[in-house]
């Protein structure tokens, strides 16, 4: 069995680590390129959303590379991701591919997948303890990858030589992917942190902080959002995003009760604006800006695939959140007609706006503050 899955953040590092310990063999789709999107767009229904086109393109390339089994998640609405599997299977079959299809349905985790996993484990002769260790190891790898990404987000606006952070980040991720034991992993992580510290930086800069929120696939995957984190970082902005591989998993398994900025808390924060949870990332997209505004974030970028059913609601409500919490929001509605220039132009205008807001608040607030002090 040569299994392939759609990209979601560092899922490739996670599953590779697991595959090396307990199998099965994974064939990841080749790195998403313009050919991927071209293939996806060509064979997708015209008005399917951008994630559909990317994932279909990925699957086609993975099948060409020799994969024979596809694992795809499904859902019970209201987002259309739950219908992806039927439509995709049909398209791939019409294209003449031979493959097995595994549907990952979150309501059947206990009844079906754990049993199936257990059967597979026994067939391969892996001990129960061994598979638990493998899961723990893979999980740790992803956690480390994400903390390295967070370091890069902080370092990029401060770097003196442009592109230095991105180089270190790419190397670090590769090293982590190659590590094969807990000891080695700790060592590698230490080295990566060291390399980040050695990057020449200008500490006098005070970069504005921007939050990237929106639809999960668009936020988490650099190929879908045109590497918006790097672009913003190189414009001198410190970014963070709301969707991470680990947070998605912990949210699904209800393990994020202690996290102060979990999706659950964000949904709660969106309450005054949208009383009912509509599903997807809609409520979280409204709630996260409120949570992060309190942390001193100065701007929000919302990403959505064009025609997204849920995020369009969030977009309309974010206008009001933006006014009431005094935080500018820039919305990117992305389709397959991506233009780097468009993204760069809009981003640099947004960064200018953030700078202007800083200057203005400085010039207005200081005399008033002085006056206030006199009265006291």
Partner 1 sequence: MSLRIGIPRALYYYRYFPFWETFFETLGFEVVVSRPSHRGLIEEGFKFADDDTCIPMKMVFAHTIDIKDRIDLLFLPRLLSVDGKTCSCPRLAGLPEMLKYSIPRLPTILAPYVDERYRNSTLFRSFSQMASALGKRSKEIKQAYQQAESTYQLIRKRMEGGENVPELFEKAGKKNLFSPKNDSGKKIAVVGHPYCLYDPYFNFDLLRILGEAQTSVYTQEMVPKEEIDSEIQGFGKDVYWDSGREILGASLYYLDSNQVDGLIYLTCFSCGVDSMIEPLVRHRVEENGKTLYLCLMIDEHTGATGVLTRMEAFIDLLERRRKRR
List 23, 130, 271, 279, residue binding partner 1 (CB under 8 A): 279
Q: Is there a contact between 49 and 13 (Cβ–Cβ < 8 Å)?
A: no
Q: Which is nearer to partner 1, 133 or 333 (CB)?
A: 333
Length of the chain: 376
Q: Which is nearer to partner 1, 149 or 311 (CB)?
A: 311
Interface segment toward partner 1; rule CB under 8 A; list 122-130, 251-259, 302-310, 366-374: 302-310
If binding is defined by CB under 8 A, does position 328 make contact with partner 1?
no
If binding is defined by CB under 8 A, does position 338 make contact with partner 1?
no
Assigned token pair, 21? 């310990």
If binding is defined by CB under 8 A, does position 313 make contact with partner 1?
yes
Q: Which is nearer to partner 1, 22 or 282 (CB)?
A: 282
Q: Which is nearer to partner 1, 59 or 84 (CB)?
A: 84
Interface segment toward partner 1; rule CB under 8 A; list 17-25, 232-240, 287-295, 305-313: 305-313
Q: Is there a contact between 47 and 307 (Cβ–Cβ < 8 Å)?
A: yes
- Nearest-angstrom CA–CA distance, 375 and 372: 5
- Nearest-angstrom CA–CA distance, 26 and 323: 47
- Which of 316, 299, 300 has its CA nearest to residue 356? 299
Give least dist CB 229 to partner 1, A: 23
Strands, sheet with 299-305, edge to edge from the N-terminal-most edge strand: 238-241, 209-214, 299-305, 329-334
If binding is defined by CB under 8 A, does position 47 make contact with partner 1?
yes
Write each residue from 67 to 106 as x if it is in contact with partner 1 (CB under 8 A), else as -, in one continuous string.
---------xxxxx-xxxxxx--xx--x------------
Q: Is 202 exposed, middle or buried (0-12, 13-18, 19+ CB in 10 A)?
A: exposed
The half-sphere exposure of 41 on its side-chain side, counting CA atoms within 13 A, is 11
Footprint of partner 1 (CB under 8 A):
45-49, 76-80, 82-87, 90-91, 94, 273-276, 278-280, 282, 304, 306-317, 319-320, 333
């Amino acid at each position: 069995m040569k299994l392939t899955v759609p990209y979601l953040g560092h899922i490739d590092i996670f599953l590779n680590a697991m595959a090396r310990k307990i199998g099965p063999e994974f064939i990841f789709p080749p790195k998403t390129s313009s050919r991927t999107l071209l293939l996806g767009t060509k064979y997708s229904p015209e008005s399917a959303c951008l994630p559909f086109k990317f994932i279909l393109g990925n699957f086609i390339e993975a099948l060409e590379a020799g994969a024979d089994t596809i694992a795809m998640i499904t859902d019970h609405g209201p987002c259309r991701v739950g219908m992806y599997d039927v439509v995709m299977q049909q398209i791939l079959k019409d294209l003449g591919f031979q493959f097995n299809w595994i549907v990952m349905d979150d309501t059947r985790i206990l009844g079906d997948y754990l049993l199936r996993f257990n059967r597979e484990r026994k067939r391969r002769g892996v001990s129960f303890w061994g598979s638990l260790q493998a899961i723990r190891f893979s999980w740790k790898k992803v956690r480390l990858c994400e903390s390295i990404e967070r370091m890069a987000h902080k370092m990029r606006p401060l770097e003196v030589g442009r592109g230095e952070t991105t180089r270190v980040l790419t190397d670090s991720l590769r090293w982590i992917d190659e590590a094969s034991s807990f000891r080695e992993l700790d060592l590698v992580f230490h080295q990566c942190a060291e390399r980040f510290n050695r990057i020449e930086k200008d500490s006098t800069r005070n970069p504005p902080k921007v939050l990237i929120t929106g639809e999960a696939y668009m936020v988490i995957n650099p190929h879908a959002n045109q590497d918006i984190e790097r672009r913003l970082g190189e414009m001198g902005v410190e970014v963070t995003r709301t969707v991470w591989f680990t947070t998605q998993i912990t949210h699904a398994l209800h393990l994020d009760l202690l996290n102060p900025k979990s999706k659950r808390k964000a949904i709660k924060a969106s309450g005054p604006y949208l009383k009912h949870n509509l599903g997807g990332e809609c409520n979280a997209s409204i709630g996260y800006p409120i949570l992060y505004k309190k942390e001193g974030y100065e701007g929000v970028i919302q990403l959505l695939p064009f025609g997204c059913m849920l995020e369009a609601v969030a977009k309309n409500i974010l206008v009001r959140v933006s006014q009431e919490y005094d935080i500018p929001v820039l919305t990117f509605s992305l389709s397959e007609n991506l233009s780097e220039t468009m993204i760069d132009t809009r981003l640099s205008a947004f960064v200018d706006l953030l700078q202007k807001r800083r200057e203005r608040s400085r010039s207005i607030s200081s005399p008033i503050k002085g006056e206030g002090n006199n009265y006291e």
